[in-house]
Amino acid sequence: MPQTLYDKLWDSHVVHVEEDGTALLYIDRHLVHEVTSPQAFEGLKLAGRKPWRIASVVATADHNTPTDHWEEGMAGVRDPFARLQIETLDRNIADFGAKVYFPFLDKRQGIVHVIGPEQGATLPGMTVVCGDSHTSTHGAFACLAHGIGTSEVEHVLATQCLVTRKMKNMRVSVEGPLARGVTPKDVILAIIGRIGTAGGTGHAIEFAGSTLRAMSLEGRMTVCNMAIEAGARAGIIGVDEATIDYLRGRPYAPKGRDWDAAVAYWRTLVSDPNARFDREVALDAREIRPHVTWGTSPEMVVPVDDVVPDPEREKDAMRREGMERALTYMGLKPRTRMTDIKLDKVFIGSCTNSRIEDLRAAAAVVKGRRVASSIRAAMVVPGSGLVKAQAEKEGLDRIFRAAGFQWREPGCSMCLGMNPDRLDAGERCASTSNRNFEGRQGVGGRTHLVSPPMAAAAAIAGHFVDIRTWR
Amino acid sequence: MEKFTVLNGLVAPLDRANVDTDQIIPKQYLASIKRTGFGEGCFAAWRRDPEFVLNQPRYQGAQILLARKNFGCGSSREHAPWALRDFGFRAVIAPSFGDIFFSNCYKNGFLPVVLSEADVDRLFYDAASFPGFRLVIDLESQTVSTADGSKKMPFEVDPFRKYCLLNGLDEIGLTLRHADKIRAFEDRRRAQFPWYF
């Protein structure tokens, strides 16, 4: 029987199945960070358990690490609770070990979802878990990757398995070329706008079609990253030449004969022709315009040349109330043109959009211009130390600095504002991150999700602009 | 893990769809290395509004949260069920849940119950109309009933999860009963795909 890619990944990892379908799924790669792991390590210690296979662990500190004052070392971490979490991770890795650990201040430290692929520690055919919902990012490499809770982090450490059930198969196909200025971020925002934030609940979404094939692995990661914003724990994309080219020569990718054998296997990691999906959705890439969110959920999104929707035109009472509450929180009036919305801050970064390609695209917009005087802060936070080094080699940092952007150290930063980078109440931000939830970037902060070039252009203009008209 | 068998509790209705885990416990309350003490952060931003449902005297001491669709979407933070539990809840009823939140609940003696939109609608009406409105959640019989027994609604739960909750079992201990199988699987995989190890 023809199988989907998800079926293949699932079948190749099932250790045991209970009568009711609950399965033990073997985990190849366990990514660990400082916020969701301390309770798991503590649980192991209290129960006197040892990690099953510590060589599966790749760890880094990213969520609450500061993006400035690195020259001060640990003293630069002003928040004592953040410091405690960072030091607790240091201690846990010292006690238990890891395959790879990039601690705070290491040159290769960065957002866990950026460094996994960058190091070749994420490989096709793997199961990848992490106590972070954006683990779906790694699915761009044809691995089954999804977020787990802290109890599951402890469970995977102790048993190398996850207790779980098979999800359903969903395929989202996007066909055709993207217009100039339209990016993978706009593709995934358009998908979420179409199917909603619960559209993929209970499913693994495979992204397919010529538009996805034409994307770089960086772009594919952006798409898979936000599968969770469509409700799907896992997003996946089949292997092709681009996948293999990306991984060749990465530090933890196989070498020599292993590489050849691995590549031969990886080429089988695509859905079979005629594989059956429980649900199919199709989008025409030519119709996708640059997108901007207007509300407090990623599904509250419109094309940039559109207006803020009017709740009065919504027939469903529950949705209408949700829209009204979102507009109140966001301080927006219905039918306002999106390009008339003025901004206070701009954030370019996060596991969605902080890779070298994102920074290049933003820098191309910024080059030779100045951030608008009305913008209180515009910030670029590279996804990893290696992304930062590469960007500096290409002179991107100088372009950003000359324009008035702050050029920061890597980390999750203002995507979730656990470190000092956050919005103040009422501040409005164009952000390349993934969630526009109330208070996400700071208590009372107002987030609009956009692509890197859209964020860059908004910083220069002081308001949203349609990047397709940018000259 | 604390057992979950029968819960007879006061119901607090939270009438909003797509409640994300950033609302259940905002990020400024995540900076802890413990599993307890998150009650203060539970719905912290919304609780600053004196009119917010959980600030109303009639819902003080509620153990059952009644919610709308896609409850617990977003971040994987297990601090969300920890916060709800520390705040005093033992169960949440909604028409649908975010996947990761849903599975996190079961690890903490905290029961997420899926009822139909129509049943949930009616319960919202009842909770608003009758002060002191209580429900009885019986995990063994998989039913939600009004305290007087006049309405009874069945719900689904995976047998394995039910077994763990009813007995308060440590899942790691259960999985390690299969240690030999895991080891055998791992040996086969290592032989076939050495580059993953």
Q: What is the pLDDT of residues A176-209, one digit of tens each?
A: 999 999 999 999 999 999 999 999 999 999 999 9
Q: Is A316 on the interface with B (CB under 8 A)?
A: no
Does A440 contact B22 at a Cβ distance shorter than 8 Å? yes
The CA distance from A241 to the nearest CA of chain B, in Å, is 19
The CA distance from B7 to the nearest CA of chain A, in Å, is 23
Q: Is A265 on the interface with B (CB under 8 A)?
A: yes
Q: Which helix (H) or strand (E) holds A393?
A: helix A385-393
Q: Which residues of chain B have pLDDT under 70?
A: none
pLDDT at position A344 is 98
Residues 6 or more apart whose CB falls under 8 angstroms from that of A279 comprise: A168, A169, A170, A171, A203
pLDDT band of A422, cuts 50, 70, 90: very high
Q: Which of A26, A64, A443 sits opposite B186 (nearest CB)?
A: A26
| Alpha-carbon gap, residue A262 to A255, rounded angstroms | 9
> What residues form DSSP beta bridges with A429?
A345, A447
| Alpha-carbon gap, residue B23 to B40, rounded angstroms | 13
| Alpha-carbon gap, residue A281 to A279, rounded angstroms | 7
The CA distance from A35 to the nearest CA of chain B, in Å, is 7
∠ at Cα B189 (A2, A249), nearest 5°? Answer: 90
Cα–Cα distance list, A140 to A19, A215, B28, B178 (Å): 32, 11, 31, 32
- Chain A hits for B185, Cβ within 8 Å: 15, 26
A344 phi-psi bin (left φ>0, alpha ψ -120 to 50, beta other): alpha
- Chain A hits for B171, Cβ within 8 Å: 151, 155, 163
Q: By C-alpha distance, which of B94, B107, B103 is closest to B144?
A: B94
| Residue to substitute from A39, A99, A233, interface B, most B β-carbons within 10 A | A39
| Residue to substitute from A41, A126, A159, interface B, most B β-carbons within 10 A | A159
In three state form, how does the secondary structure of B30-76 look? CCCCCCCCCHHHCCHHHHCCCCCHHHCHHHCCCCEEECCCCECECCC
The CA distance from A242 to the nearest CA of chain B, in Å, is 20
- Chain B hits for A89, Cβ within 8 Å: none
Looking at chain A from residue 223 to 262, which residues have their Cβ under 8 Å from any Cβ of chain B? 228, 231-233, 253-254, 258-259, 261-262
What is the percent of chain A with per-residue pLDDT over 90, rounded to a whole number?
100
Q: By C-alpha distance, which of A289, A248, A296 is closest to A123?
A: A248
pLDDT at position A84 is 96
- Chain B hits for A233, Cβ within 8 Å: 99-100
Which residue type sits at B56? Q
Does B17 contact A319 at a Cβ distance shorter than 8 Å? yes
How do strand A100-102 and strand A57-60 relate by DSSP bridges?
A: parallel
Q: Which helix (H) or strand (E) holds B21?
A: helix B21-24
- Chain A hits for B120, Cβ within 8 Å: none
pLDDT in tens, A91-117: 999 999 999 999 999 999 999 999 999
Mean pLDDT computed over A234-253:
98
> What residues form DSSP beta bridges with A379?
A347, A406
pLDDT at position B1 is 85
pLDDT in tens, A281-305: 999 999 999 999 999 999 999 999 9
Does A88 contact B193 at a Cβ distance shorter than 8 Å? no
Round the average pLDDT of chain A to a whole number and report it: 97
> What residues form DSSP beta bridges with A458?
none
| Alpha-carbon gap, residue A239 to A248, rounded angstroms | 13
The tokens describing A458, both together, are 């908004």
- Chain B hits for A64, Cβ within 8 Å: 31
pLDDT at position A100 is 96
| Residue to substitute from A52, A143, A161, interface B, most B β-carbons within 10 A | A161
A154: nearest CA in chain B? Answer: B172
Mean pLDDT computed over A418-447:
97
| Alpha-carbon gap, residue A85 to B39, rounded angstroms | 20
pLDDT band of A466, cuts 50, 70, 90: very high
ipTM of the complex: 0.95
Q: Which of B33, B159, B175 sits opposite A24 (nearest CB)?
A: B175
pLDDT in tens, A61-73: 999 999 999 999 9
What is the percent of chain A with per-residue pLDDT over 70, rounded to a whole number?
100
pLDDT at position A390 is 98
B106: nearest CA in chain A? Answer: A151
Q: Is A203 on the interface with B (CB under 8 A)?
A: no
Does B172 contact A160 at a Cβ distance shorter than 8 Å? no
The CA distance from A132 to the nearest CA of chain B, in Å, is 5
Per-residue b or e along A278-292, where b marks 16 or more CB atoms closer than 10 Å to that residue's CB: eeebebebeebbbbb
Yes or no: say if A6 and A269 are a contact pair by the CB < 8 Å rule.
no
Q: Which of A131, A233, A437 sits opposite B22 (nearest CB)?
A: A437
A34: nearest CA in chain B? Answer: B33
Looking at chain A from residue 398 to 427, which residues have their Cβ under 8 Å from any Cβ of chain B? 416-418
The CA distance from A325 to the nearest CA of chain B, in Å, is 10
Mean pLDDT computed over A403-416:
97
CA-CA-CA-CA torsion sign (A104, A109, A111, A113): negative
Q: Which residue has the tokens 């009372």?
A: A444
Going through A37-132 in order, the beta strands assigned E by DSSP cover 57-60, 100-102, 127-130
pLDDT at position A471 is 83
Does B158 contact A20 at a Cβ distance shorter than 8 Å? yes
